[in-house]
Amino acid sequence: MKAHDGMYIDGAWRPAAGPDVIEVVNPADERVIATVPAGTVEDVDAAVRAARAALPGWAATPPAERAARLAALRDGLVARRNEIAETVTAELGSPLKLSQTVHAGVPIAVTGSYAELAATYAFEERTGNSIVFHEPVGVVGAITPWNYPLHQIVAKTAPALAAGCTVVVKPAEDTPLVARLFARAVHEAGIPAGVFNLVTGLGPVAGQALAEHPGVDLLSFTGSTAVGRRIGAIATGMVKKVALELGGKSANVILPGADLARAVNVGVANVMSNSGQTCSAWTRMLVHRDQYDEAVELAVAAAAKYGDRIGPLVNAGQRERVRGYIEKGVAEGARLVAGGPDSPHERGYHVSPTVFADVTPEMTIAQEEIFGPVLSVLRYADEEDALRIANGTVYGLAGAVWAGDEAEAVAFARRMETGQVDINGGRFNPLAPFGGYKQSGVGRELGAHGLTEYLQTKSLQF
Ligand code: NAP
Ligand code: MG
């Protein structure tokens, strides 16, 4: 057990203002592995002041130099790759291989992409008799969740720094250790004091203080719709810019001509990865009624392969939440064909890979984000029916379409109300804009579109 003190504020590790700490628990064995300070309003205020003080200098730093610091940060993350993976595995519970490839690998790619964008982006343009400057929005308050703990910090911090903004991050209470590791990498990369600040703490205390702080110009939040709605309203009321990356209930639409086995196998893997704790997970599989029974059989076989390979959920509360949804699915008449609320593990917050068949669109498990390893397989009659079901939730974050013919899949995808669609198993692209239609959020992250979120324009007329 390691007791960490201090938070990274103004380029140094400073003792917290108050005595409270947060216990970090390994969800695989339920042991406390560390404590970190629970930041208060005072700590947030110190961090925002540091970020404000650093803003003019960083905003005036030439983009090529900001790019060089981001490239150094990427190299630092590469050097710490194993340490990042081990830390995420310890505090989130994800299998080490997933931690290496995704939890460490994606933030490295994203940091690298912003090193490149900072160097190449056109921060000024001409239109008619004007020059338009793309200037940093200012001080960014970032509130992040635990499910992809480093990715979500990097997806906000890297574009913000590339744009010339300064940042205060409040990471999730469950995963503060990889955030501390990131702060060390920032320091080693020679990013000036106050440009990046980290305040660990509880959402309703430190998170709320950041959302309400008058010194924050842009609030970027990733997490639950309930919290996002509340703090989005606070920040909007103060005329701050707000970016929200919220939940999802994404559809995996398998059209009749598709390679059914591949579509089902990739679809099940997509849901079970990270124990289902993925906002963009394809948690609704839509299958034509003529292929339905075969698809369910394939899904059951695929889920069985994940039995011992997925990690636990992040904490006891999430496990109870997911079990509650599974019980609700049964109560509402869905057919449990794999998994269920129990787990063979004696310790750890596990839930077995679970598949429901005979799910109808209005059921709770087909409407609400479960955030666990639970797949709902739904039946459709024809393409219009499939589209109505796919678009029939309050969410619109991601999705997939499989078809025999790529053009057919694209035509269907164009009618989906969602921010991303993978066509016939298309790969994750760290440069493609990521974000939600409808209640999945406001704004986009990643790539050039993610950079523009942190910029505002100033026009000079001649
Ligand atoms: P959450 O409460 O929304 O947590 C996200 C972040 O917001 C955390 O840093 C959290 O701090 C902070 N926060 C919580 N209450 C706050 C407040 N009143 N003011 C300011 N910040 C606040 O999410 P959760 O409770 O961890 O997870 C609940 C559900 O949210 C999940 O089951 C899932 O459905 C959804 N979720 C979605 C995503 C996504 O990527 N879209 C990610 C995580 C969760 P604490 O860590 O201290 O709570
Ligand atoms: Mg919470």
Number of H helices, E strands in the chain: 16, 21
Q: Is residue 435 one of the residues assigned to a domain?
A: no
What is the CATH number for 190?
Answer: 3.40.605.10
pLDDT at residue 309, rounded to an integer: 81
Q: Is residue 365 one of the residues assigned to a domain?
A: yes
- 246 CA closest ligand 1 atom index: 41
186 & 67 share domain: yes
The chain-wide mean pLDDT, for the chain, equals: 97
For residue 308, pLDDT over 80 is answered with no
446 & 398 share domain: no
| pLDDT average, residue stretch 171-191 | 98
184 & 318 share domain: no
Residue 245 annotated in active site: yes
For residue 307, pLDDT over 80 is answered with no
Cβ 215 under 6 angstroms from ligand 1? no
Q: By percentage, how much of the chain surpasses pLDDT 70?
A: 100
pLDDT digits (tens, 9 = 90+) for 392-423: 999 999 999 999 999 999 999 999 999 999 99
Per-residue confidence band for 306, with pLDDT thresholds at 50, 70 and 90: confident
Decide: 440 and 247 in contact? Cβ < 8 Å. yes
Cβ 445 under 6 angstroms from ligand 1? no
275 & 384 share domain: yes
| pLDDT average, residue stretch 111-119 | 98
214 & 266 share domain: no
Decide: 146 and 92 in contact? Cβ < 8 Å. yes
Supply the residue whose CA is at minimum distance from atom 48 of ligand 1. Answer: 203
Paired strand residues for 399? 251
Reference 318, options 291, 349, 289, 353; nearest CA is 349
What is the C-alpha separation between 63 and 60, in angstroms, rounded? 9
pLDDT at residue 343, rounded to an integer: 81
DSSP assignment letter at 446: S
The alpha-carbon radius of gyration of the chain (Å, integer) is 22
Per-residue confidence band for 265, with pLDDT thresholds at 50, 70 and 90: very high
For residue 288, pLDDT over 90 is answered with yes
Paired strand residues for 198? 169
Structural domain count of the chain: 2
HSE toward the beta carbon, residue 79, CA cutoff 13 A:
13
Q: Is residue 434 one of the residues assigned to a domain?
A: no
Reference 58, options 157, 154, 150, 130; nearest CA is 157
What is the CATH number for 316?
Answer: 3.40.309.10
264 & 311 share domain: yes
Mutational test site, ligand 1, from 21, 44, 143, 199, max ligand atoms within 8 Å of CB: 143
- Cα(203) to ligand 2 centroid in Å equals 6
pLDDT at residue 2, rounded to an integer: 94
Q: How many other CB atoms are there within 10 angstroms of residue 29's CB atom?
A: 13
259 & 138 share domain: no
Q: 138 is in which domain, residue-wise?
A: 2-246+440-461
What is the β-pairing status of strands 284-288 and 130-136?
A: unpaired
Would residue 27 be called left, alpha or beta, if left means φ above 0 and alpha means ψ between -120 and 50 degrees?
A: alpha
Reference 66, options 152, 133, 158, 153; nearest CA is 158
pLDDT digits (tens, 9 = 90+) for 312-365: 999 999 999 999 999 999 999 999 999 998 887 889 999 999 999 999 999 999
Cβ 204 under 6 angstroms from ligand 1? yes
Q: Is residue 81 one of the residues assigned to a domain?
A: yes
pLDDT digits (tens, 9 = 90+) for 58-109: 999 999 999 999 999 999 999 999 999 999 999 999 999 999 999 999 999 9
- Cα(221) to ligand 1 centroid in Å equals 9
Which burial class, exposed, middle or buried, applies to 176 when counting CB atoms under 10 A from its CB (0-12, 13-18, 19+)? buried
180 & 263 share domain: no
pLDDT digits (tens, 9 = 90+) for 192-250: 999 999 999 999 999 999 999 999 999 999 999 999 999 999 999 999 999 999 999 99
233 & 152 share domain: yes
Decide: 326 and 341 in contact? Cβ < 8 Å. yes
Q: What is the DSSP string of 220-261?
A: EEES-HHHHHHHHHHHHHTT-EEEEE-----EEEE-TTS-HH
